[in-house]
Amino acid sequence: MGNRPEELNALIASVRAQEGPRVELAVVANGAPLPSLPGDVRSVELPENLGIPGGRNVGIELFGKDGRDVDAVLFLDDDGLLPGTDSARLLREAFTADPRLGIVSFRIADPETGVTQRRHVPRLRASDPLRSSRVTTFLGGASAVRCTVFEQAGQLPAEFFYAHEETDLAWRAADAGWAIDYRADVVLYHPATSPARHAAYFHNVARNRVWLARRNLPALLVPLYLGTWFLLTLARRPSKEALKAWWGGFRAGWREPCGKRRPMRWRTVWQLTRLGRPPVV
């Protein structure tokens, strides 16, 4: 968004410090002016904010159609930092060791405390963030995606703008036969924040969850998935204003077009269930 030039330059320096072959860099100014950048960094300045998934898709295209000029794309938020110099090496080794591995989700830790927020562990059993595991979704701003995944499963859903775009891609990738790993040893420093800091958080969370179900789930599971999340939302006792925004987003999810419907196979449903997160929660 162009308002973190110092943090961005620190992130670039942390990428430059990685062991092994040089990591190519690209910066997308998403509806904001481009900051001063090193001359070898690919960049684009968008005239309007396309949202998180739309901006990341533009970044993918900076490496050729679906990122085909490179083997994998790392997505790093501009206020993040790679504290270790071995992250790129660990990712290369992971993708090389497992040809089915399509996506790697990093561990996000607060730079001041070292604490990983529970919501940053992409599984239901999130009490131990130091445990790596195979998972069913990933963290968009701290991840690496093999470019073949984009070719087979498509890019991130730009229409989502913000919220649940990673799960949409993760489900499509799983349906195409790709695995997703959470790696606790690949760390991104990022200040602890609340997702509710975004003005449209409650609206987008509800709308995009409906879209997620409409786009990806077998018809039988759509009401189960949305019913579960409806009850969970009420159980969390949001404020009157938050509930109003959530309900408006839920209705918008049914009224507004959500893109192409491609329901996952029941084999994928079973695979997600075996990994501890059936697509009804």
Q: What is the pLDDT of residues 5-60, one digit of tens each?
A: 899 999 999 999 999 999 999 999 999 999 889 989 999 999 999 999 999 999 99
Report the pLDDT value the prediction gives residue 200, as an integer from 0 to 100: 86
Do the domain assignments include residue 280?
no
Q: Which helix (H) or strand (E) holds 103?
A: strand 101-109
CA–CA separation, 40 and 3 (whole Å): 21
Residue 1 binned pLDDT confidence (cut-offs 50, 70, 90)? confident
pLDDT tens per residue across span 205-242? 999 999 999 999 999 999 999 999 999 999 998 899 99
Residue 117 binned pLDDT confidence (cut-offs 50, 70, 90)? very high
Complete edge-to-edge strand list for the sheet that includes strand 133-135: 72-76, 142-146, 101-109, 179-189, 133-135
Question: Which of these ranges, 22-31, 132-141, 173-182, 195-204, has the smallest mean pLDDT?
Answer: 195-204
Do the domain assignments include residue 281?
no
Do the domain assignments include residue 23?
yes
- Domain of 228 in residue numbering reads as 200-274
pLDDT, greater one: 194 or 105: 105
Report the pLDDT value the prediction gives residue 70, as an integer from 0 to 100: 93
Q: Tokens in use for 249?
A: 């987003």
Report the pLDDT value the prediction gives residue 3, as an integer from 0 to 100: 84
261 and 183 within one domain: no
Looking at 145, 166, 193, the residue that finishes a domain is: 193
256 and 148 within one domain: no
Report the pLDDT value the prediction gives residue 29, as an integer from 0 to 100: 95
Q: How many CB atoms lie within 10 A of CB 110?
A: 15
CA–CA separation, 141 and 190 (whole Å): 10
Q: Under 8 Å CB-to-CB from 159, ≥6 apart: which residues?
A: 211, 257, 258, 259
CATH assignment of the domain containing 130: 3.90.550.60
Mean pLDDT of 141-153: 97
Report the pLDDT value the prediction gives residue 242, as an integer from 0 to 100: 92
Question: How many structural domains does the chain have?
Answer: 2
Do the domain assignments include residue 155?
yes
117 and 18 within one domain: yes
Residue 263 binned pLDDT confidence (cut-offs 50, 70, 90)? very high
95 and 217 within one domain: no
| β-pairing verdict for 133-135 and 179-189 | antiparallel
Q: Is the dihedral of CA 212, 214, 220, 225 positive or negative?
A: positive
Report the pLDDT value the prediction gives residue 120, as an integer from 0 to 100: 94
Looking at 171, 193, 215, the residue that finishes a domain is: 193
Mean pLDDT of 151-177: 97
Q: Given a cut of 70, is residue 248 above it in pLDDT? A: yes
Do the domain assignments include residue 279?
no
Residue 196 binned pLDDT confidence (cut-offs 50, 70, 90)? low
Residue 198 binned pLDDT confidence (cut-offs 50, 70, 90)? low
215 and 168 within one domain: no
Report the pLDDT value the prediction gives residue 197, as an integer from 0 to 100: 54
176 and 92 within one domain: yes
207 and 180 within one domain: no
